[in-house]
Structure 1
Amino acid sequence: MAASYKPRKGDKSGAASDSPSQSTLIRRWGIRAVLLALIVGLYQWANTINDRFYILTPAELNETVQHSLKLAADLNTDPKTNASLIISTLVNQLADRHPEMSWATDIGNKRDWVFNNAGGAMGSMYILHASITEYVIIFGSAVGTEGHSGRHTADDYFHILTGQQSAYEAGDLTREIYNPGDVHHMKRGVVKQYAAAPETWALEYARGWIPLMLPFGFADTFFSTLDLITLYHTVRVTGKEMIKNLLIGKI
């Protein structure tokens, strides 16, 4: 005699019980689509107002760079100290021209110089100014580096101080070359491979929503170098400068 089976209360069988119903899935993906659309819309709206918060301009910065380069050339400085003279002159001029912004000017303080690993490239940087919509840093490498530029939501301007930087976009068969005094404009949304020769240093200026650039700057730490001490100092210095500028009304 065949045994009979009576399902217990609450016992569910079949594939349908092991996965959400079709209506639940549709609802979940619908919510995600709405959230994504809101984020994209918010980003597009934010990009229509961020220019009202800019104080610096690439043209003015390059004028200051050119003055610093000319001073170093006129003094016929030793190449080993040339970068130090250019950078110190540049930093002092920026702080004098824009007292309405908070600047870090103690470039001799090694504690505030930090390594940066991003897109496979490695360099060191000193954060001169950091706010929500603008940052200005000295960035480069004494030994040279090469990597992925990142695809950013801000415009990035490399004002070359010493050495040489080269770059190209996918599909280009020749490289772009930037020497002291030149400006390499990395437009937002554009991605390149770039390389810096040994002892290349630049004044890097970014304008846009700066916090959205930070994940790219931190990713290599979490997935490659695991250098949490450098990450701590990067967050410490960046946060300190952003807060100082917010307190004086600089967004």
Structure 2
Amino acid sequence: MRVLAAIGAILAVIVFFIEKNLDSFYIFDTEHLHDLSKRAIAAHGNDTGAVMNYISTELRETKGISPYISTSDEWFFNNAGGAMGGMTVLHASITEYLIFFGTTVGTEGHTGRHTADDYFHILHGEQWAYAAGDFVPEVYETGSVHHLRRGTVKQYRMPDNCFALEYARGWIPPMLFFGNADGLSSTLDFPTLWRQTYVSGREMVGNLLLAKI
């Protein structure tokens, strides 16, 4: 019991320290990601694949960021909050993740109530969002960004073909429970669940080895 208490105390100190200094661990700048997304759209319009390639290429060539960007372009499904789409991981660490997420057929669900701020940069199509008590939907068009603040929750819909660059900053590991819940409780698509868990874990561990929390 004493050993467990000591481990718990050490973890509590580590969490407290990181929480107080979260900003110092971030390597991505929200304004840069928004600007990069708009430049990619301006260069390639409705060619979503080319837009994504423009973004990933610049990130892999940007000083201070490139070592932490995945060189893999693996796509796999994600089911979370009742919504389904495809995703590929550009970066995953304890305090940040950056992914491409989207669908060609539309989807709808619960955003989740997260321990991180989420920035959803629309690269193609639209995302609609609804906060309880509102009577007019939030509509995020191509080139805009939907900022879901830490601890808040909304219903969202991607009514048709829609893809985004999604960036989250804060505590990322707790978000994985939400990301895996549908796979464990409804779809039971264990190969996809394993692929998502493996890729996310691989990137997090790889970045930890580079001293990126």
Q: Same fold (TM over 0.5)?
A: yes
Shift in Å, 1:103:
1.5
Give the aligned partner of residue 3 of structure 2.
Answer: none
Q: How many residues align?
A: 204
User: What is the CA distance between 1:47 and its match in structure 2?
Assistant: 2.5
Bigger radius of gyration among the two: 1
Residue of structure 1 aligned with 2:118, choices 149, 156, 178: 156
- CA apart distance, 1:49: 1.7
Superposition TM-score, scaled by structure 2 size: 0.89
How far does residue 90 in structure 1 lie from its aligned partner after superposition?
A: 0.8
**RMSD (CA atoms):** 2.0
Flag the 1:83–1:45 CA change in 2: closer, same or farther, 3 A.
same
**1:114–1:124 CA contact under 8 A, matched in 2:** yes
Q: Do structure 1's residue 219 and structure 2's residue 201 form an aligned pair?
A: no
What SS does the corresponding residue of 2:180 show, helix, strand or coil? helix
Instruction: Please tell me the residue identity of whatever aligns with 2:174.
Output: L
Q: Unaligned regions of 5+ residues in structure 1, if any?
A: 1-34, 74-78
Which residue pairs with 1:104 in the alignment? 70
Partner residue, 1:243: 205
**Other-structure match for 1:32:** none
The answer to whether the aligner puts 1:210 opposite 2:175 as a matched pair is: no
**CA 1:155/1:101 → structure 2, altered by over 3 Å: closer, same or farther?**
farther
Q: Which amino acid aligns with 1:144?
A: G
Report the AA paired with residue 84 of structure 1.
G
TM-score by length of 1: 0.76
Cα distance in 2 between the residues matched to 1:243 and 1:106: 15
Deviation per CA, 1:147-206: give whole Å up to 9, x if none: 000000000000000010010100001100001110100000100000002220000000
**Gap runs ≥5 in structure 2:** 1-7
Q: Which residue of 1 aligns with 2:60?
A: 95
Cα displacement (A) at 1:244: 1.4
Q: CA deviation at 1:51?
A: 1.4
Task: Say whether 1:56 aligns with 2:21.
Answer: no
Question: Is residue 102–residue 245 contact of structure 1 (8 Å, CA) maintained in 2?
Answer: yes
One-letter code aligned to 2:49: S
1:250 Cα deviation from its structure 2 partner:
1.0
- Relative to structure 1, the CA distance from residue 101 to residue 133 in structure 2 (aligned partners, 3 Å threshold; closer, same or farther) is farther
